[in-house]
Amino acid sequence: MSSGTWSDKVSALTLLVQESPLHTMKPLENLLGLAGKRNRTQALMALGALKDLLGAGVLLPADRKLRAFSKQPGLLAAFQGVDASWTSDERLPPSLERIHLIVWAYEDWLKKTYFELLKILENWCNDEVEFARTRAVTFVYELLRDKPEQEENLLRLLVNKIGDTDKKIASRASHLLLQLQNSHPSMKAVIVNAVESEVLLRPGQSAHAKYYAIITLNQTILQSAKPEVANKLLDIYFSLFVTILNRSAKNKRTKDKPTSKFLTQEEAFDSASKKRKRGGPVIADADKSEQELEEKIIAQILTGINRAFPYSKQDTAT
């Protein structure tokens, strides 16, 4: 491991882990350490290897999440009844063998190690270089698609990238969320709730983030057999629509508030000077851009309403 290219080292560590995961904890820790390096190319290579091992690989169970050692059903069942008062200086209960304890201890370690990987992924998702962020977002999606482990945190990471300042990454995150819905149709309601709570309802989110959030929601493929998702989407759209209308009405009242028509020469000079310092045209352009984005948001909300309404079961009785 001390010689050879970086690619050779990553490949060698990956092969060691694949041969016998239970006996090669150290190589997996080494890969994790490499993924946290500041050299982007090298770190992303190690991160990709970890993604392959933990996502498409066999290290994680495909049908359940990893369990902590103390939460293993076999362990809890073994110390019931007459063995409830077992102490460490006694023989193991008849239903337990050392191999059980070894495997459960490894699963507990792997669960903690996987969480450390998520911390590293989160750092790369917020890297200043677009390429690194794009690769990290793709890794998050692939782990989320392949295995259920840490799906809540992975989904949160992916949803938060809808608000990325780079439009390409925001669009990429939106696309991957829709791909996730195709891979796991039963997750549609979970994804819709995550987009609402992490983006639309979170204070301080930009209009840009909300725009991509609504685009994601209104492209959700709906089914007549599951109207609850369409109902939830309509609730979100109408709530957003009312919020925008109330804000527009408030802004209009502020603009229409009467002011004195007459200024002294000194007041007029001060007002003009302040406008120059603030950069009047720039502020006007910003206001115009914000207004255009709001109009786009309204258009996307209306599109979402038109798409969701035929699949919903709303009480239209008056």
Please check whether residue 159 lies inside any domain of the structure: yes
pTM here is: 0.83
139-159 pLDDT, tens digit each: 999 999 999 999 999 999 999
Confidence check: pLDDT of 237 > 90: yes
Q: Are residues 220 and 304 in the same domain?
A: yes
Q: Is residue 303 part of a domain?
A: yes
Calpha distance 271→275 (Å, rounded)? 6
**Do both 207 and 317 map to the same domain?**
yes
- Residue 272 within a domain: no
Is 80 contained in some domain?
A: no
Question: What average pLDDT does this structure show over 193-220?
Answer: 92
Where a domain ends, among 83, 108, 135? 135
Same domain for 242 and 204, yes or no, is yes
Q: CA 203 to CA 206: how far, in whole Å? A: 9
Q: Are both 106 and 199 inside the same structural domain?
A: no
Report how far residue 156's alpha carbon sits from residue 47's, in angstroms, rounded to the nearest whole number.
19
Range 35-45 average pLDDT: 92
Instruction: Please report, as a single letter, which amino acid is at residue 134.
Output: T
Domain membership of residue 199 as a residue range: 150-253+289-318
Q: Are residues 131 and 168 in the same domain?
A: no
Give the mean model confidence (pLDDT) for residues 191-208. Answer: 92
Provide the pLDDT for residue 317.
43
Please indicate, yes or no, if residue 54 is contained in any of the structural domains.
yes
**3 state DSSP class of 9:** helix
Q: Comparing 63-77, 137-151, 172-186, 252-266, which segment has the lowest mean pLDDT? A: 252-266
* Whether 113 and 247 share a structural domain: no
Q: Are residues 185 and 126 in the same domain?
A: no
Same domain, 104 and 206: no
296 closest CA partner among 230, 213, 189, 211: 211
Residues 94-114 have a mean pLDDT of 91
Q: Is 208 domain-assigned?
A: yes
Q: What CATH number did the domain enclosing 302 receive?
A: 1.25.40
Note the pLDDT of residue 318: 38
The answer to whether residue 207 sits within a structural domain is yes
More confident residue, 175 or 95: 175
Q: How confident is the model at residue 81 (pLDDT cuts 50, 70, 90)?
A: low
Asked if 34 and 127 sit in the same domain, the reply is yes
Least confident of 41-50, 66-75, 121-130: 66-75
Mean pLDDT, the chain, integer: 85
What confidence category does residue 129 fall into, taking pLDDT thresholds of 50, 70 and 90? very high
The fraction of the chain above a pLDDT of 70, given in percent, is 81
CA dist., res. 138 & res. 78, Å (int): 42
Do both 103 and 42 map to the same domain?
Answer: yes
Task: Give the dihedral sign, CA 244/248/251/257.
Answer: negative
The domain tally of the chain equals 2
Q: Can you tell me the mean pLDDT for 111-131?
A: 95
pLDDT score of 275: 52
Confidence of residue 168 (pLDDT cuts 50, 70, 90): very high
Are 13 and 157 contained in the same domain? no
Query: Between 318 and 183, where is the model more confident?
Result: 183
Same domain assignment for residues 111 and 180: no
In a domain, 126, yes or no: yes
